[in-house]
A and B are shown apart, each in its own frame.
Chain A
Amino acid sequence: MASSDLDARSTSTVARPTSPVATITGAPAGDDEMVCGEGSGEDGTDDCIDIEFSLNGESTSVLVNPADRLLDVLRDQLDLTGTKEGCGEGECGACTVILDHLPVNSCLVPAYQVRGRRVETVESLTDEDVAHLHASGATQCGACTPGVAMTARWIVDRPHLLSRHTLRALMAGNLCRCTGYDGIIEGIELDLTAREDAQRGSTG
């Protein structure tokens, strides 16, 4: 879906043409022709805007179109194609990233809203972060896995959440059509236990 136009748009890693080329009004996001238009100050701009934010711990600057979703900017402009588009309507969670310490669906986040904020994507995860998910059979086709892994990491980093939420409720926004969820839940539980053990080891 979103990757079909990757070739056309990823020639430069960050920037899009800065000079006005055509107006984007009405152009679908992800369209090959989507370039930035001539803006005017008073009644709103349709110029590309330069946004700066922290991406996986590194300060990043990228020119985005007002109509861009965070998901498309990550995949098409920043070449971080780990984040997947499943539904484009906030249901499936395949596009989950962590925005200012909270999981969000990047298909519903306007890119301009992340200026000055912190975004973490699946590319920030280490092999160790996902080892337990691998071991427990949390992945079959893999379409849901990047989103599952992000929400899982968010939970494992905040075990206190489990005093007020069940693991399944916290994972309810990540749909999986293959595994039946048990492997996913087991992987997160294993990870939580391992971190707890490691902490106990280091403090005691």
Chain B
Amino acid sequence: MKLLLPSALDEALDMLAASEAIPMAGGTDLMVHWPQNLDAHSRTYVDLSRIDALRGYRLGADELVLGGATTYWDVIEDAAVCEAFPMLARAARQVGAIQIQTRGTWAGNIVNASPAADGVPVLMAYDASLELVSTRGTEIVALADFYRGYKQMRRTHDQLIRAIRLPRRSYTIEHFEKVGARKAQAITKVGFALTRSEVGWRVVANSVAPTVCRCPAVEEVLTSERTVSAPEGLLPALDQDIAPIDDLRSTAAYRRRVLARVLYACLAPLCPGFGPSKTASPIPPLAGPDEPDR
């Protein structure tokens, strides 16, 4: 393994431009099973832990700017940030457990590009944009446009996320939901983040597609104030937005049905068009014997 130890951002960018090196932030993705992960040992790493320009964050009147090395714990511990962007703190508290929250970074969550990432949906529902920097200059990319496919991103190997920018808006609804096997140390089986502000609805789901994804068809249902009298009423729209799969944590069928239910449960008290019509039959049980709740 080769190591590059920059102490300033420019130095790091020069190093990235001159090599195929991988940025190392908190290591909570890259260092998992490190001794056994021999492929990883043949790579070159650029340590980001000494770069002041990536640390810290700034809450201004118009925006919150998270640094490229800001951790979950940085956000959890800052009362003003938690108040301005409550979903950030809610999601951060559900990432792994304390020892992961103190090391894991928002930028690392974005670039690791897991469809199950918990930080990405809340950032996307807050319309975050990324400041990508390299020796070639700075590029601003909306997080919602950042992913191209499973683990595919609009980031070239020489670019670092220098900052994550979240515009301040008047949110009337902010909701984050994570369905996992237990309260801590759980990878999301299905989840979503949802906001409503002066720019409209944002519905972002995780673990139901090759990437964390916006759900434009569901957003349209909400914008047009369509009547939805039961969770199943969301499925036609959801099916346009998501493409869940079976894997070791859950099944496609479970993910689809549960996402409809948790979304519905969140929206029913908030949207006039939502709620059981007076004649609707009670909600059928969640999982039949042929559809184990994993």
Contacts and interface: CB of A to CB of B under 8 A. Distances in A.
A44 B185 contact: no
Contact of A44 (B3, B96, B100): B3
Contacts of B163: none
Interface string B133-148: 0000000000000000
A43 B44 contact: yes
B18 A26 contact: no
Interface stretch (A14-22, A97-105, A128-136, A185-193): A97-105
Interface stretch (B34-42, B200-208, B261-269): B34-42
Interface stretch (A54-62, A85-93, A118-126, A137-145): A85-93
B109 interface: no
B210 to A, nearest CB: 24
Q: Contact residue range for chain B? A: 35 or more
Q: Contact residue range for chain A? A: 35 or more
Contacts of A67: 1, 34, 41
Contact of A109 (B2, B31, B41, B45): B31
Interface in B93-150: 93, 96-100, 102-103
Given A28-B38, A110-B31, A169 B19 contact: no
Contacts of A113: 24, 27, 47, 49
Contacts, number: 123
Contacts of B45: 44, 66, 110
Contacts of B99: 90, 93, 96, 103-105, 151, 173
A109 B27 CA distance: 6
B42 A46 contact: no
Interface string A154-185: 00000000000000011011110000000000
A169 B76 CA distance: 13
Given A26-B42, A45-B2, A170-B98, A109 B103 contact: yes
Contacts of B5: 49, 112
Interface string B1-33: 111110000000001001101001011100111
A126 to B, nearest CB: 23
Nearest to A154: B98
B233 to A, nearest CB: 35
A74 interface: no
Contact of B27 (A24, A110, A174): A110
A107 to B, nearest CB: 7
A90, A172, A175: most-surrounded residue (chain B CB, <10 A): A90
Contacts of A6: none
Contacts of A175: 185
B173 interface: no
Interface in A17-38: 24-30
Interface of B: 1-5, 15, 18-19, 21, 24, 26-28, 31-36, 38, 41-42, 44-45, 47, 49, 73, 93, 96-100, 102-103, 183-185
23 contacts: A24-B41, A25-B41, A39-B2, A43-B18, A43-B44, A44-B2, A66-B3, A69-B31, A69-B35, A88-B32, A91-B185, A96-B99, A102-B73, A105-B100, A108-B26, A108-B27, A110-B47, A112-B3, A151-B98, A172-B184, A173-B96, A173-B185, A175-B185
Q: Which 7 A-B pairs have the closest CB atoms?
A: A173-B97, A44-B2, A172-B184, A66-B3, A102-B102, A108-B31, A172-B97
